[in-house]
Structure formats: C-alpha cells, structure tokens
A and B are shown apart, each in its own frame.
Chain A
Amino acid sequence: MSATLEKKTLLADFAEYLSKNHLEEIARLNIRLAIEEKVPLLRFFEGLSEDQLIKTGMEGLKTFLKGLQAGTATEEIYQSIDNWKNDKLPGIPREEVEICDLVLINAHRNKNIRKFIHLFTSDVTSAIEIIEELDRLHVYYNNLAFTAFMDIQKEVLERKNILIIQNEGKLKEAQEIGLLGSWEFDVVNNEVSWSDQMYRIFGYEPGEIQIDFEKYLTLLHPDDRTMVSDKVSGIFKTLEPYTFEHRLIKKDGTIAWVLARGKVLEKNGDHVLKIAGTGQDITEEKNYQEVLEKRQRSLEAVNKELEAFCYTISHDLRSPLRAIDGFGKMLAEDYTDKLDKEGVRILDVIRNNAQFMGSLIDDLLDFSRLNRKDLVKNRFEMKVMVESVLEELKQANPENNAKVILKDLPEAFADKTMIHQVWQNLLSNAFKFTSKKEQGIIEIGSKEGESENIYYVKDNGAGFDMKYKNKLFHVFQRLHSMEEFTGTGVGLATVQRIILRNGGTVWADGAVNEGATFYFSLPCN
C-alpha cells in the first residue's frame, strides 16, 4: 500500500490525463473488446445499444480513474468487490457473475489504458512505473475477485445443500403422512431394501428385521401370499408395472391393507435385474369403505322398509275410506226418504272428506315415490310436451276458457316423465287459479341460457302474497282455502322436488289478485 502512495503522483497525473482526454475512447475500446470476446456479463445489458453501453462503461471508468487520482484505487477496488459479494450490483444477481467476467473486464481495461501511455509520456522509466503500478492493481483486483467468487460459490452450495437436506426431510415426512413406503428388490442378489415407512407399515421400527423376498411373503396375510407372489413374479415376464391391493399381518397381529405398486428399475435385455415400488397403507380407507358399504346396505334396508310402509299405507289406509264412502253412498241411495235435506248434506260432507283423504294419500305416495325413482335423462321437445299437457287439461276442464299463449321453448335434457308431471302441476294450477277471472290469460315461455334454460308459466289469476313465497313449495302448505280453490298442497312440492332432482331450481313471483309466475330452470346438459 505504501508503495502505491509513494508513486501516487505519476499514476494520478496519468489518470487525470486520461479522464480529461480519452475517457470515452477507452470506454469504447473496452466495450468493443467485451463484445468481441463475448463477455458473459453482457447478457445483463441486452437491451442497451452500444452507445448506451459505452456511457455505462464511462461511468465505471471515471470512478476507477478518480480512485487512481486520489490514490484510493485499492480502496475503490475493494469496495466494488465487496458490493458484488454482498449482492449490491444493480440488476445482476451475485451468483450469476462468472469468473471470466471479472478476469476479462479487468484485463481489457488494463490493456486499453496502456495504449495511451505513450501519448502521456515519452519517458520510458515513467512508462514502466505506470505499467508496473497498473499491473499491481490488476493483480490485486484479480486476487480479491477470485476470493470473492469462491466465497459466493461456497455460500450458494451450502444453501443448496440445506435445501436438499430439507427436501429429504420433507420427503420422509410426506412418506409418513401419506403412509407411503418405498422399496427396491435386487433380484440378482435377492436383496430387498425398505424405506423407514415401509417398516412402519408392517408395524416394525425401521431396520428392525432383515428382509428378503421370502421373508416379505411370510409377513403377508396367508390368503394373499400366492396372489402377491404371482403378481410380483409376473413382472419378470411382462416387464409391465403392476398395482394391486393386498393384506398383511402387522407385528402386533392386526391386519393392514396395502396398495402395492411396482415397476422394473433395471434390466438386461428381457432379464430383470432390479424392481422397485411403493407400498401405501390404505387400511383406514378400506375401513371407511366398509363403513360406507354397511351404511349403504342399511340405507337400502330402510328404503325397502319405507316402500313396504308405503305399500301398507296405500292398501290399508284406503280400504276404510272406501267403506266410509261406499256405505255413505248406500245410505244416500237406499235411505234418502228417511233423511231430510240436512241429513243428505251431512252425508255429502262425510263422503267428500273420505274422498279428499283418498287424494291426499295418493298425492303423498306419489310425492314420496319421487325420491326413490331412478332418473332417466333424455333430450326431448319441451314445446311438444307442453302442447300435449295443455290438450289433456282442456279436455279435463272444458268449462275453462283461459286464453293460452304458448311461446317457443328450447328442448330439454331431463327425466321426461317427471318433467311431464311438472307441467301438469304448473299448468293445472294456472287453469285453476285463473278460473274465477273473467278472462284468464296463461303464458308459457322461456329464456335460453348458456348453461341452463329457464321456463316459466305466467297467469293473471288469484296470485299470492310474496311474503308467503317460502311456503309455496312446502308439502301440504296451501295459500288458499278449500272454499276458494281445492287442492292437497302437494303439487308445487312435487314440482320442486322433481326440478331439484333434475339439477335445476324453482322460484315464483306474484301478487294477490294480480297473478303469479312460476319459473324453473334446467341444466342444458
């Protein structure tokens, strides 16, 4: 260092001379050489033109020459290397800088500066002094740069190692969490190696037992040994990977289920040398599956019971009603002369109620059957269906003179029989609730969408109060008295259940005495 200080003036003068007269020239020479020799660092300046590169180079050179002038060149060099080491180079990650970047750039600068010595001094001694000084700085720079480079690489490697170790840990953890063990089978030497988790699947501590193929077979469930042996040896012929499930007996005697996978790892022609694979503990899954199957079976049993129950209801509940109605009718036929007007009316009330209860039972049975019936989805013409339902209803209610406006309807993909029932319910409601209007109007239309189509039935009938709209679709909920409009209160509940089962939704708009609109949507596919 002291040497540098002593010689300072000559080198400083030279640096000053260069700064004043040849700064841009040297920078240009440096950049040209860097491009010519393809200095890797240039890739970080790809977007810049040559002029821009030269300007950047001039900045660096200026700092360097200033250091020479002030006699602080070594400090400047130290600082710039330190910046690099601490990753403070703007836009350049420190580990991306290669050793040849440093060597080349330093060498180019040294080379190009020398070219101007003869312009500065014709004195050979002075020239040599300057060259020596520059070389010394050159070496100093290279030394620092190499050390820094090594330090950086070491740190990068260490970090990678830590990551690798962490990843190994994670893999182990993943194996444990996923209950996934791995193994390799060296066929030539009959050597089997297991991962720690593989031991645990069998209920052992890692490495607790010696394992080879024969030993492995003895650990399996006796009923599965032949199957496993066949499957594993099958791979020697087929060379194809296998996957199968089997049982094993754990150390504590309990049975575990394993999903086994294997494939050829090494072979010599068709001769298998090594196979490898995984074993996954699927005992919980299997147990869960068993529970599900049990539940499914009990559900089916409940369903059967329910069916039997419905059967009983439909038979046994109806016959007393039939007797009430039938014997009432007999009374009316055979004994009218003994009954007065009021007596006949009372008899009528009895019979009407018996009949109504009959329809309640029928509707309820239909409703409960909806959930048990399998869905059969088909594509069909909605408009054709509506036309036929309208025809049926007009024939059944010839006195109804409502005006029907049927607009175009997109075809549907749903259970045809069920949707037929929906239209029957909605349209017969529309006829029913417009029956007291001077001129009932019923409009049937739709709105096509991308994923679903919406169909609607709009009428100008009795309507309903929106505050009860939640009750509309509940079974046995009615918003009108029997004196106003008859009904069992199952129709709209049926509509809702059908539409829900077909993947759509139902909703309604309305106002008292102003009519109602019932909408339902169905998915297009």
Chain B
Amino acid sequence: MNDVEILLVEDNASDAELTIRALKKNNLANKIEHVSDGPEALDFLFCRGKYASRNSRNKPRVILLDIKLPKLNGLEVLKEIKSMENSRSIPVVMLTSSKEDPDIEKAYSYGANSYIVKPVEFENFIKALTNIGYYWMLVNHPPKE
C-alpha cells in the first residue's frame, strides 16, 4: 500500500519520533511518511529521486512542515508546494518552536493553512497536534479531483 495520510517534514529525530508517536497514539494517522529535509520532501511529493516509483495520485491528506530545516528551509519548501499545480491543494501545517517566530507570518502569506508551536511539554504538544490533526484529517476534506 502506498497510501500516505501524513507527510512529516522534520529534521530533528527526537521531535519526529515524538510527533509520530503522538499522532499514532491518538489514532490520527496510521500511515505517516517522515522525511528529514526539504529536497526529500519535494522529491516525495513530486515522485522524484528515490520516490520516482511512487504513485503520484497518492497525496498526503496533510503535510506537517517544520519551519527550520537544513538545505531548503521550511518556507522555501512551502513556496514550492504552493506553486505546483498538483500539490497546491494539500493543507500544510507549519511546525515551529516559537510563537514569536517572524516566519509564521511569512508562512501564511505563502499559503500555509495553519501552524503549531511545538511546546516543551509533551502533553501540550499532543494536544496541539490533536486539535490541528482532527481538524485537517476529519473536518477539512481536501477537494475531490
């Protein structure tokens, strides 16, 4: 099965593990694809490089995108996603460590759909993910193709 529900773009392995665990524990997603930098995320979405054999019709229902990433940063990846015809409609939730992040505003102007501040406390992290996850996974259906 190639069915991916969530694409997580996160370079910090611990954060990634915590996020995946939280999502699974709350039954938000069974199929999570984790990539750790921007180019890999784009390769995945556009079925390039090591994802060349992937079925491009299987789009993630939501992308969790860390703002701070090596190589291409989160904003650049976001711009790319929102500029391409076949990825534009996928909701993107930005992940950031700080609510004062000036990049949040920029992210909105580039077409981000929401953002989550990754709190230090695990419980709050789960809560934030759950809220946003339920919303995007269950309520906000992506447009039918």
Number of B residues, CB within 8 Å of A = 19
Q: Is the CB of A358 within 8 A of B100?
A: no
Q: Is the CB of B98 within 8 A of A319?
A: no
Chain B residues near A325 (CB-CB < 8 A)? 120-122
**16 residue pairs from A and B, CB less than 8 Å apart:** A315-B98, A315-B101, A319-B97, A321-B120, A322-B15, A322-B97, A322-B122, A322-B125, A323-B12, A323-B15, A325-B121, A327-B18, A354-B120, A355-B120, A358-B120, A369-B100
Contact digits for A349-369, partner B, Cβ 8 Å, 1 yes 0 no: 000001101100000010001
B14 at the interface (CB under 8 A from A): yes
Chain A residue with minimal CB distance to B97?
A315
Inter-chain CA distance A321–B120, complex, in Å, is 6
Inter-chain CA distance A319–B12, complex, in Å, is 8
- What is the distance, in angstroms, from B98's C-beta to the closest C-beta of chain A? 4
A178 at the interface (CB under 8 A from B): no
Contact digits for B84-126, partner A, Cβ 8 Å, 1 yes 0 no: 0000000000001110111000000000000000111111010
Q: Is the CB of A326 within 8 A of B98?
A: no
Contact digits for B4-22, partner A, Cβ 8 Å, 1 yes 0 no: 0000000010110010010
- What is the distance, in angstroms, from A332's C-beta to the closest C-beta of chain B? 10
Q: Is the CB of B101 within 8 A of A322?
A: no
Q: Is the CB of B14 within 8 A of A319?
A: yes
Chain B residue with minimal CB distance to A366?
B100
Chain B residues near A316 (CB-CB < 8 A)? 97
Contact digits for B60-86, partner A, Cβ 8 Å, 1 yes 0 no: 000000001000000000000000000
Inter-chain CA distance A330–B14, complex, in Å, is 12
Contact digits for B40-78, partner A, Cβ 8 Å, 1 yes 0 no: 000000000000000000000000000010000000000
Q: Is the CB of B100 within 8 A of A326?
A: no
Q: Is the CB of A319 within 8 A of B15?
A: yes
Inter-chain CA distance A511–B14, complex, in Å, is 48
Inter-chain CA distance A323–B122, complex, in Å, is 9
A318 at the interface (CB under 8 A from B): yes
Chain A residues near B12 (CB-CB < 8 A)? 319, 323
Q: Is the CB of B118 within 8 A of A322?
A: yes
Q: Is the CB of A323 within 8 A of B100?
A: no
Chain B residues near A323 (CB-CB < 8 A)? 12, 14-15, 18
- What is the distance, in angstroms, from B21's C-beta to the closest C-beta of chain A? 7
Chain A residues near B123 (CB-CB < 8 A)? 329
- 4 tightest A-B contacts by CB? A358-B120, A323-B14, A314-B98, A326-B18
Q: Is the CB of A330 within 8 A of B21?
A: yes
Inter-chain CA distance A233–B134, complex, in Å, is 77
A44 at the interface (CB under 8 A from B): no
Q: Is the CB of A355 within 8 A of B121?
A: yes
A146 at the interface (CB under 8 A from B): no
Q: Is the CB of A358 within 8 A of B14?
A: no
Pick from A318, A326, A358, A365 the residue with the most CB of B within 10 Å. A326
Chain B residues near A318 (CB-CB < 8 A)? 97-98, 118, 120
Chain A residue with minimal CB distance to B18?
A326
Chain A residues near B102 (CB-CB < 8 A)? 311
Chain A residues near B97 (CB-CB < 8 A)? 314-316, 318-319, 322
- What is the distance, in angstroms, from B100's C-beta to the closest C-beta of chain A? 7
Inter-chain CA distance A328–B15, complex, in Å, is 13
- What is the distance, in angstroms, from B57's C-beta to the closest C-beta of chain A? 35
Chain B residues near A326 (CB-CB < 8 A)? 14, 18, 122, 125
Q: Is the CB of A322 within 8 A of B98?
A: no
Inter-chain CA distance A184–B103, complex, in Å, is 62
Chain A residues near B125 (CB-CB < 8 A)? 322, 326
